[in-house]
Amino acid sequence: MSLLAFEILLVLLLALPNLLCSTNSTASQLDRQADMLLRWKSSLDDPMSYGCLETWSNRTSPCSWAGITCSATVTHGHGRSDAAQVVTNISLPEYLPQGTLEHLHFADLSQLSFLDLSYNNFSGSISPSIGSIPPSIGSLMRLKSLNVMNNEMTGSIPGSIGDLTRLELLDLSFNHITGSIPPSIGKLIRLKSFNVTNNQITGAIPGIIGNLTSLELLDLSGNKIINFIPGSIGNLTMLEVLDLSSNEIIGFIPGCIGNLTRLKLLHLTFNRITGSIPSQIGKFWSLSILRMSDNLFTGPILQEIGNCLELYEMDLSRNNLSGAIPKTFANLYQLHILNLSFNSLSGPFEDTFTPFVNTRVSLDHSMDICGDSKTVIDNDVYEKCDVYSFGVVSMEVVMEDGMAATSGLNKEEALTSQ
């Protein structure tokens, strides 16, 4: 054997242990993930009755299983880099039977970036280990999307959720989660969507939520949240959807809410918010839906709302608002639904009614909305304002093709029906 051939053989022999070690490490990681996922599958109620899990078998690679996606991840060792296939996505919405997440060991899924188990029947608590950092291997440190909406999850949001610093979407909605929002939520500075609607969350909105400056959607509706809206909410300048409805929020709307100029939906219905409607809402030039009914707002409706030219729906009903309807409402040509009922508004209304073609207007129980015995509809003057239900009678006005209707009647029928 020549010296050159011997040297080449020697190099290969010396490198072989490293190659085998890298290969075994790669294989063992994927094997561990497969074993763990199969154990989780076997813990579910009657898993074989669900077709999507029939592909989960120890005879095939987990990378070929339904709902599982693998990606090549670079590993480093022994002075070299290797690409290994590992599980990075688990997406099983509406697929799985009842069970828990107890046997879904997150420590074995260190490269996971996407987890969607929405619309299933999982019960039990959200394990604190979901955000923990084990000594040997980080747990879900790469996770960008966590969606377990519409399950039967209980318990509180673990403080360790703040360790998932790459999260962009966190959806825990429609579960039975209790407790307060942990302050550690403020660590998720990449978060774009935070949705916990329809749970049983208590406590106040933590002021540290103002750290989440990338948020585009914040939905805390349908819980038992108390106290004030924190002033730090004004830091969330990327917000497009803010829904705090159906809680027990009190106090004033902070003026800094005017910083949220990208808002398209503002929903504060069914709280106990007091004070006047802030003029800063007039800065929401992209606002499409404004719902603030069933609160304790007082004072007039400010003319600045007329600056929200994209408004499609406005509901300020069931408050203690007074004064006239601003003439600037005549600018709201996109408005299709206007509900000002159950307030103490006064007239005249005719100055703002004319532009509302194809608009559904409700002014129920606004005693003095007409101003006098006459009103104008489609440039016609009518003296029986009460017959058209602008007063104490329940009022629904629908404008369609230039015709008005009350309870399905056109305007002439409505005026002659009494």
**pLDDT tens digits, 304-362:** 999 999 999 999 999 999 999 898 988 998 999 999 999 998 876 655 555 566 678 78
* pLDDT of 360: 80
Q: What is the mean pLDDT of residues 120-140?
A: 57
State yes or no: pLDDT of 181 exceeds 50. Answer: yes
DSSP alpha helix (H) spans, 132-260:
none
- Residue whose tokens read 């002659």: 416
The C-alpha atoms of residue 137 and residue 343 are separated, in whole angstroms, by 60
For the entire predicted model, the pTM comes to 0.81
Query: Between 29 and 76, whose confidence is greater?
Result: 29
CB 146 within 8 A of CB 169: yes
* pLDDT of 72: 87
* pLDDT of 351: 55
Q: What is the mean pLDDT of residues 351-375?
A: 61
CB 261 within 8 A of CB 238: no
**Residue 289's pLDDT band (boundaries 50, 70, 90)?**
very high
**Residue 293's pLDDT band (boundaries 50, 70, 90)?**
very high
**Residue 59's pLDDT band (boundaries 50, 70, 90)?**
very high
Lowest mean pLDDT among 29-38, 330-339, 372-381: 372-381
* pLDDT of 399: 36
**Rg, the chain, Cα only:** 30
Q: What is the mean pLDDT of residues 189-218?
A: 98
The C-alpha atoms of residue 172 and residue 160 are separated, in whole angstroms, by 15
